Amino acid sequence: MKLIRTTSSLFLSLALSMLISHETLSWPVSQPVPGGIVTIKVEAPLESAPSVLFKKRPVAVVRHNDAWHAIIGIPLSIKPGTHTAMVNQKPVNFTVQSKDYPEQHITLKTRKHIDLSPEDLARHRGEKAKAKKAFKAFNKQQSPDLAMIKPVEGPYSSPFGLKRFFNGEPRNPHSGLDIAAPTGTPIKAPSEGKVVLTGNFFFNGNVVYVDHGQGMISMFCHLSEIAVKTGDVLSKGEILGKVGATGRVTGPHLHWSVSLNNTRIDPILLLPEIEQSKI
């Protein structure tokens, strides 16, 4: 019996150690730069989540280690310097540092996705309106799971924030993370959430949008197949589609965007440190 108790205690200690380790790894990396994340510990009663706004937009507030923390997405367009979040209607300042992202030059075989016809432009504007609505969603009933997993196996082919040029012409910076993988590779939900939009878009090809709660939205682009429909509730790791080369692409890959408070941030900041070291 003594041996059994000792063994049980050992397993309990190991389990607690793994739990603590997971809790540490699950917390997002705070990088106060354009396209990064700022976390703010909020002094407030645990019984009621505080209200936090940044640029007049609601911000995700998550309970962690017996305290409330605001998780703020920082726009790529923000200027370095002092910025202010409103916490329970009181200003809280933080400093954003500068970051210079490298350039990426891409050559497309045709100019269809550069010089849009009137029909394609009208289509794109309609799809853009749908995407904007999805990114603006703020579901207070669901707390986001910040311990995300990599949605597809493969090397990172284009990191977040690149200054992009298509056939020599400047375009918007890269607002997601590209993962190279063969067509048909399964794509997993990085954390639990609800499918709020699917479709075939002009630039992004076959797309899936997943609402993880409190303004954290994932977008998955260029899929060869979509395996879910609007309204589906996904668990972490559940297959939502397959890698493809639809839309504006030069080859099969997954473009994964993550949005916080309607701001696209670097998804790698929500993955384990071992993945961050690969960028």
Q: With cut-offs at 50, 70 and 90, classify the pLDDT of residue 207.
A: very high
Q: What does DSSP say about strands 216-223 and 253-260: parallel, antiparallel, or unpaired?
A: antiparallel
User: Residue 250 contacts by C-beta under 8 Å, 6 or more apart in sequence?
Assistant: 106, 107, 108
Mean pLDDT of 139-155: 94
pLDDT for the residue numbered 78: 96
Is 80 exceeded by the pLDDT of residue 130?
yes
Give 11-17 contacts, CB < 8 A, sequence gap 24+. Answer: none
The pLDDT tens digits of the residues spanning 223-274 come to 999 999 999 999 999 999 999 999 989 899 999 999 999 999 999 999 988 8
Q: Domains, the chain, ranges and CATH?
A: 26-96 (2.60.40.1590), 103-276 (2.70.70.10)
**Please, where are the H alpha helices in 51-96?**
none
Contact 211, 196 (CB under 8 A): yes
Among 188, 210, 189, which residue's Cα sits nearest to residue 198?
210
Among 51, 73, 70, 45, which residue's Cα sits nearest to residue 60?
70
Contact 159, 76 (CB under 8 A): no
The pLDDT tens digits of the residues spanning 37-81 come to 999 999 888 888 899 999 999 999 999 888 999 999 999 999 999
User: Residue 116 contacts by C-beta under 8 Å, 6 or more apart in sequence?
Assistant: 124, 202
Distance separating alpha carbons of residues 188 and 202, to the nearest angstrom: 23
The pLDDT tens digits of the residues spanning 59-71 come to 999 998 889 999 9
